Amino acid sequence: MSVREATPYVPKPVSTRFLRSELMLIFGRRRNWAGMAALAAIPIIIAVVMKLWPGGGGGPDFFNQIANNGLFVSLAALTAELPLFLPLAVAAIAGDSVAGEANTGTLRYLLAVPVDRTRLLAVKYLGVVIFAFAAVALVAATGMLIGLLLFGGGDVLLLSGSMVGFGEGVLRVLGVVLYLGVCLSALGAIGVFVSTLTEQPIGATIAIMVLTVLSFILDQIEQLDWLQPYLLTHHWMDYGEFLRDPVDLGALVPGLLVAAAYTGVFLAGAWARFAGKDVSS
């Protein structure tokens, strides 16, 4: 007869308290509200302008479609914000993550509670990732709401010239949001690394933006075409794949691999720097 051993006491898997407090910091600050309001303003501006002065064809990507279907306000706004606004928002949050605490002198108190530095870093990065997804979702959702309000919904025209129902259209926009969330999370990993290097959050934010813009510039130089597939921003526009018929998810793999590579290298770098860092402020 076998004796069932008493199950040993399992401590609460992982306490979410630390993460919750981090999220309160990110989503509770008034300056971050202002930033998110700015992100949400773009789709509203786009929709109102397109309603008041309906233009002819042309214009940036997806603009000519808005009048037919409000869903395209989401895509137009995402496309418009991808080069600057979204990376800037992520850079601000990621740059603030460690350097901000160091700057206000709260980092040493944070480390005074028995929290492993690795865990602190993990929570900080998780907060940045959640913000990145939330920022993209905010732009898409605002665009969808204002678009439906002003232009109505209906079947969605894909790039391949076929139509899908509105529900599937929303799912495809959700796919775009998830893909861009992953892309911006990779930028967030670079941001957390830079943030461990300095005590000046604004300096970290600027450095992250410099890297982003540099990546965009290198992506434009024809002679560097051998380098371009490895640039962080090169595959960001690949989200257009979700608007084809049929969707070939294989086309998204290079973008996801590049994002994973950057995330791995820079998170490891952030760990190496932060775990061995003298925290004096």
Partner 1 sequence: MSLFTSRPALRWLVPSAVAVAVIGGGAALGTVAASAEPELPDRSAAQLLVDLQNASLDGLSGTVRTTSDLGLPSLPAGAGAGGAGIGSLLSGSHQVRVWYAGEDKQRVALIGTVGESDIIRNGKDVWTWDSKTQTATHRELGDGEAAKPERQLPGSLTPQEAAEQALKAVDPTTVVEVGRNARVAGRSAYELVLKPKDTASLIGSVKVAVDATEHVPLRVLVYGKGADEPAFRAEFTQVDFSRPDDAQFTFTPPPGTTVTEEATPSAEERAQAEADAKEHAAQAKSESKVVGTGWTTVVVIKQPAKQPSAEKPEDGRGRGGQDPADIVSALPQVSGDWGSGRLLKGKLFSAVVADDGRIAFGAVAPEKLYEALRG
Judged by CB under 8 A, the chain residues 65 through 104 that form the site for partner 1 are: 65, 68, 79
Asked if 267 contacts 192 with a C-beta cutoff of 8 angstroms, the reply is yes
Tell me which of 19, 23, 197, 244 binds partner 1, using CB under 8 A.
Answer: 244
CA-CA distance, 163 to 95, in Å (whole number)? 42
Does 175 sit near partner 1 (CB under 8 A)? no
Q: Which is nearer to partner 1, 171 or 268 (CB)?
A: 268
Nearest to 162 by CA among 56, 238, 247, 75: 247
Does 279 sit near partner 1 (CB under 8 A)? no
Does 266 sit near partner 1 (CB under 8 A)? yes
- Give min distance, CB of 277 to partner 1, in A: 8
CA-CA distance, 174 to 66, in Å (whole number)? 18
Sign of CA dihedral 195, 198, 203, 208: negative
User: Kind and range of the H or E element at 258?
Assistant: helix 253-275
Q: Which is nearer to partner 1, 19 or 251 (CB)?
A: 251
Tell me which of 51, 61, 141, 178 binds partner 1, using CB under 8 A.
Answer: 61
Does 117 sit near partner 1 (CB under 8 A)? no
Q: Which is nearer to partner 1, 19 or 164 (CB)?
A: 164
- Give min distance, CB of 25 to partner 1, in A: 26
Does 224 sit near partner 1 (CB under 8 A)? no
Largest interatomic CA distance in the chain:
83
Please state, as a whole number, how many other Cβ atoms lie within 10 Å of the Cβ of residue 235.
Answer: 23
Q: Which is nearer to partner 1, 64 or 200 (CB)?
A: 64
Asked if 107 contacts 279 with a C-beta cutoff of 8 angstroms, the reply is yes
Tell me which of 19, 23, 26, 64 binds partner 1, using CB under 8 A.
Answer: 64
- Residue 226 CA to chain centroid, in angstroms? 26
Amino acid at 263: T
Percentages (nearest 5) of helix, strand, coil residues in the chain: 70, 0, 25
Q: Which is nearer to partner 1, 107 or 156 (CB)?
A: 156
Q: Which is nearer to partner 1, 13 or 246 (CB)?
A: 246
Tell me which of 12, 57, 114, 223 binds partner 1, using CB under 8 A.
Answer: 57
Q: Which residues are paired to 164 by β-bridges?
A: 156
Tell me which of 30, 109, 114, 225 binds partner 1, using CB under 8 A.
Answer: 225
Does 152 sit near partner 1 (CB under 8 A)? no
Alpha helices in 14-116 (DSSP H): 17-28, 30-52, 71-81, 85-104, 107-112
Does 179 sit near partner 1 (CB under 8 A)? no
Q: Which residues lie near partner 1 (CB under 8 A)?
A: 57, 61-62, 64-65, 68, 79, 157, 159-163, 222, 225, 237-238, 240, 243-244, 246, 248, 250-251, 261, 264-266, 268-269, 271-273, 275-276
